[in-house]
Copies of this chain bind each other. A is one copy, B any other.
Amino acid sequence: MLRHDAAVTQRGQSTRAALLAAAARLVHDVGYTQTTTRAVAQAAGVAEGTLYRHFPDKASLLLAAALEQHAPIIEQMAQLPGRAGAGAVRDNLVDCLEQLARMRETLLPLELAMLSDPDLAAARDSAVLDPERPDPPTVLADYLRAEQQLGRLRQDVDPTEAAVLLLVLLFGLMAAPPPPPSVPLRLSVRRAVELLLMGLTP
């Protein structure tokens, strides 16, 4: 049965990979709106029609390109809960958020575009996500809960809530960078985590 995204040959595999790579690069470089199918195909060194042997449409291609880059970092993040109790909470959180940040660097343009473009959002919603794969909010919440049980975090905060807060904060920090003089993301993440940990109240 012929399906899109079915590359059985070795050549097909490499074409598919080239398309994904080209798509990721272009979205990163020129944004979603300017990333045309023509440009992707050209950058991948294939004909425009080839794109449609591998993906049903533009949105699916770009989404796949994004998700593909997700994978390794998500994988790595899964080990976070195991680090509970070891090292400073602050460092663990900062490390984790920084990993996510690296992932988002390529993902962000697409995330933003999804919020503007109905097509992309639809592609995302109809994409079959691996239900096994742990998602960042859950993993982070698990970690926070573990630290809470170890007494290294307040008892009266909801771990899930705190996790969402951290992630939303990271998103905001990346998507809407504070005006210059801008500090490197690494630094602003660290400061934000510190502030959140100690609180503003005296």
Specify the main secondary structure of chain A where it touches its partner: helix
On chain B, the residues within 8 Å of A6 by CB distance are: none
CA of A50 to CA of B83 in the docked complex: distance in angstroms?
57
Interface size range on A against B:
35 or more
On chain B, the residues within 8 Å of A126 by CB distance are: none
Q: Using CB atoms, name the residue of chain B closest to A166.
A: B200
A74 within 8 A of B: no
Give the residue among A30, A33, A168, A179 with the most B Cβ atoms within 10 A.
A168
Q: Is the pair B176, A171 in contact by a Cβ cutoff of 8 Å?
A: yes
Q: Is the pair B169, A178 in contact by a Cβ cutoff of 8 Å?
A: no
A175 within 8 A of B: yes
Give the residue among A42, A109, A164 with the most B Cβ atoms within 10 A.
A164
On chain B, the residues within 8 Å of A32 by CB distance are: 116
Give the residue among A109, A152, A172, A192 with the most B Cβ atoms within 10 A.
A172
Q: Is the pair B178, A168 in contact by a Cβ cutoff of 8 Å?
A: yes
Least distance between A172 CB and chain B CB atoms (Å):
3
On chain B, the residues within 8 Å of A199 by CB distance are: 154, 196-201
On chain B, the residues within 8 Å of A196 by CB distance are: 165, 195-196, 199-200
Give the residue among A111, A115, A196 with the most B Cβ atoms within 10 A.
A115
> Which residues of A line the B interface, CB within 8 A?
1-2, 30-34, 38, 42, 89, 109, 111-113, 115-118, 137, 151-155, 157, 161-162, 164-165, 167-173, 175-176, 178-179, 191-192, 195-202
Having A31-B118, A154-B198, A171-B175, one finds 20 other A-B pairs with CB under 8 Å, namely: A2-B38, A33-B116, A33-B117, A89-B200, A89-B201, A109-B115, A111-B176, A115-B175, A154-B199, A157-B195, A165-B192, A165-B195, A165-B196, A168-B172, A168-B173, A168-B176, A168-B192, A170-B172, A171-B172, A172-B175
